[in-house]
Chains A and B, each alone.
Chain A
């Protein structure tokens, strides 16, 4: 959803800090220009230009070390940028950090730090400090704890929660706060599939109520389920940003064939020969003895490929025909697999 109209909205999340702001067509929920962050000699962000529209779900997709978390922490005013600017709803994160913190909320990658507190107490504290009205706090906490299946664990000590429960608790903070800009860093990591679905539904509900959502993840399925737009980050730079469908359309070739070969001397030079098969649009290595071929029509390409392997006495372990995923989009734009073992 893009912000093209001129209107006045209520932005504040704290009862003491209601901010009325005029939003114009040029207003973004998040806007960074030439944003740079160095950790000593390591450059985590390299002049990042990035925009998030109001009330959209923007997913930052990238492997570990791509700069996703650094960007989120800068926006949340936890880290300071080395150079460049970052704005949240027009407030500069470096110059007006308290204003920014009144607008946004962040669910961190790892829920840590309150070992001796109970989930209900942690949420009660968070709700109070974020300005959730007192008469609504308990009901909101109960609802969220029940929705995320934490109700039974509400009086356990934090240190006794499982990884998945701790992660759900971390997400619960934002669901109770309901900020105008909600930032989630890998919201469903360590959570089982059922829990993931619940979290994703809650995030969507949050957006439907008018919040802008920014999510960092390296899970393709999460990105595909939630994203209005995806920004692919790699090595501190934005590689591409567009709607999921548009990104997939960017990939030439209608089908993808993933094949895995048994290791052996006959595989030498096979990659070049596979590229020569008519209908091959592109072919990339997706691991040792694993290839991903972008082809025009899989039904025509696969028999030719198996014939070639038979002639070369190269043994096929598996062949899988799929449609492009965001992993393929990532591979297409960066030349690297997003869900390679080292990124998992």
Chain B
């Protein structure tokens, strides 16, 4: 386990020296919520406080971006030549995979800490259990998205361009066809069908459920929790399988 922590810290400390882009994420969130969220809140009448709804949606979008970044990071490692080095280190593949997942999780925690805190303060009147459940949901979503991206990253060994095209296309679809910015009940039927396929729908609605939003505008929380758990376990399991069985650092004769 000590080597897993070493691997996580080796990369992470570079992000923190100085932590500019973590702070920039916080600043972006604050500006987006303070200006866009506040103005939109005055325009939207179907939800009691759209700024709060939007704050959680934005946190979920950040979770998705950070999870996706973990997958991209892995691909970058492969193309920069770092992956062969990591694969040659005296640790098992499962520990290597764990270190990649943990690094993603730690980055997620660091980047979400301030936005989530702001959102929780904005919503107010919350119990520790509901906050803990919301955080757990975000981690579950983050791991699930990272797992999807890690799974897709194996395409990058064949074609980096194809991987980029797929992930960019997938990202835009997954975010737009979800309930991060608008509640499920407001979606037109054909949009609603697509939203069912987006993991962000389940993540956003389950977090909102735990944070006390009106359940009548959200998906069934049991259903959402089951889907997210299956996503996280399934994709991380798939990622680990691929790393252990298929991954090869370079393709050079």
Residues of A within 8 A of B77 (CB): 113
Does B253 contact A113, Cβ atoms closer than 8 Å? no
Query: Which residues in A have their C-beta under 8 angstroms from that of B84?
Result: 73, 76, 78, 108
| Interface residue from A70, A129, A130 paired with B253 (Cβ < 8 Å) | A70
Interface 1/0s, chain A 95-114, versus B by CB < 8 A?
A: 00110011001101010111
Whether A2 sits at the interface, judged by CB under 8 Å, is no
B160 within 8 A of A: no
A6 adjacent to chain B (CB < 8 Å)? no
Please, which residues of chain A bring their CB within 8 A of the CB of B14?
A: 116-117
- Main DSSP-derived SS at the B contact region: helix
State the main secondary structure of chain A at its contact with B.
loop
B253–A80 touching, CB < 8 Å = no
A335 at interface by CB-CB < 8 Å: no
A106 — nearest CB in chain B belongs to which residue?
Answer: B88
Residues of A within 8 A of B90 (CB): 13-14, 17, 98, 101-102, 129-131
Given contacts A39-B253, A112-B80, A129-B3, contact A98 B248 (CB under 8 A): no
Q: Chain B's nearest CB lies how many Å from the CB of A293?
A: 33
Residues of the B chain whose Cβ atoms lie less than 8 Å from the Cβ of A110: 81
Say yes or no: A101 contacts B85, CB within 8 Å.
no
In Å, the complex CA distance between A47 and B248 comes to: 20
Tell which of A80, A114, A115, A116 has the most Cβ of chain B within 10 Å: A114
Task: State the CA gap A130–B252 with chains docked (Å).
Answer: 26
Residues of A with C-beta under 8 A to B80? 112-113, 115
Q: From the candidates B10, B249, B253, name the one contacting A67 in the complex (CB within 8 A).
A: B253
Task: Tell whether, in the assembled complex, residue A69 and residue B252 are in contact, meaning their CB atoms are under 8 Å apart.
Answer: yes
Residues of the A chain whose Cβ atoms lie less than 8 Å from the Cβ of B253: 39, 42, 44, 65, 67, 69-70
A128 contact set on B, CB distance < 8 A: 6
Q: Which B residues lie within 8 Å of A39 (CB)?
A: 251, 253
Point out the residue from A44, A70, A117, A129 that lies within 8 Å of B89, measured CB to CB. Answer: A129
Asked if A101 and B7 make an inter-chain contact with CB atoms under 8 angstroms apart, the answer reads no
Given A44-B253, A125-B6, CB of A101 within 8 Å of CB of B91: yes
Contact A78 to B252, CB < 8 A, known contacts A102-B90, A112-B82: no
Number of interface residues of B (CB under 8 A): 25
How far in angstroms is the closest Cβ of chain A from B80?
Answer: 5
A79 within 8 A of partner (CB): yes
List chain B residues, Cβ under 8 A from A117: 10, 14
B92 sits at the interface (CB 8 A): yes
- B117 within 8 A of partner (CB): no
Q: Least Cβ distance of B8 to chain A in Å?
A: 11
Interface presence of B131 (CB below 8 A): no
When distances are taken between beta carbons in the complex, the residues of chain A under 8 Å from B135 are none
A 233-258 to B, binary, CB cutoff 8 A, 1 in contact else 0: 00000000000000000000000000
Per-residue interface assignment for chain B, residues 1 to 33, with 1 indicating a CB less than 8 Å from any chain A CB and 0 otherwise = 001001100100010000000000000000000
Residue B248 contacts which of A17, A80, A121, A130 (CB distance < 8 angstroms)?
A80
Give B112-150 as 1s and 0s: 1 = Cβ < 8 Å from A's Cβ atoms. Answer: 000000000000000000000000000000000000000
Closest residue of chain B to A97, judged by CB? Answer: B93
B-contact 0/1 string along A68-106, CB 8 Å cutoff: 011001001111100000000000000001100110011
Specify which chain B residues have a CB less than 8 angstroms from the CB of A115 in the assembled complex. Answer: 80
A17, B92: Cα distance in complex, Å:
12
Per the bound structure, the CA–CA distance linking A98 and B87 in Å amounts to: 10
Inter-subunit contact A70/B252 (CB<8 Å): yes
Instruction: Verify A98–B249 contact, CB threshold 8 A.
Output: no
CA distance A80 to B77 in the complex (A): 19
CB-based nearest B residue for A40: B251
Least distance between B220 CB and chain A CB atoms (Å): 44
A76 to B89, CA, bound (A): 9
A contact residues around B85 at 8 Å (CB): 108, 113
Q: Is B250 an interface residue (CB 8 A)?
A: yes
Contacting residues, chain A, for B93 (C-beta < 8 A): 97-98
Q: Which residues of chain A are near B7, meaning CB under 8 Å?
A: 129
Inter-chain contact A108/B81, CB cutoff 8 Å? yes
Task: State the Cβ distance, B178 to closest chain A Cβ, in Å.
Answer: 34
CB-contact partner of B82 in A42, A105, A113, A130, under 8 A? A113
Most buried by B among A13, A76, A78: A78
Complex formed: what's the CA distance from A255 to B13 in Å?
60
The answer to whether B87 and A77 touch across the interface, beta carbons within 8 angstroms, is: yes
Nearest chain B residue, comparing its CB with the CB of A157: B14
Distance to closest chain B CB from A129 (angstroms) = 5
* Neighbouring A residues of B6 by C-beta, 8 Å: 125, 128-129
Distance (Å) between the CB of B51 and the closest chain A CB?
37
A128 to B2 alpha-carbon distance, docked (Å):
10
Q: Is the CB of B92 within 8 A of A98?
A: yes
Q: A65-B253, A131-B90 are in contact. List 12 more A-B contacts (CB 8 A).
A: A70-B252, A73-B249, A77-B87, A79-B250, A98-B91, A112-B80, A117-B10, A129-B3, A129-B89, A129-B90, A129-B91, A130-B90
Residues of B near any A CB (own CB < 8 A): 3, 6-7, 10, 14, 77, 80-85, 87-93, 248-253
Supply 15 A–B pairs (Cβ within 8 Å), ascending by A.
A39-B251, A39-B253, A65-B253, A67-B253, A78-B248, A79-B250, A97-B93, A98-B92, A101-B90, A110-B81, A116-B14, A125-B6, A125-B10, A129-B90, A130-B90
Cβ-closest 9 pairs across A and B: A113-B82, A112-B81, A78-B249, A44-B253, A101-B90, A102-B90, A76-B88, A113-B80, A78-B87
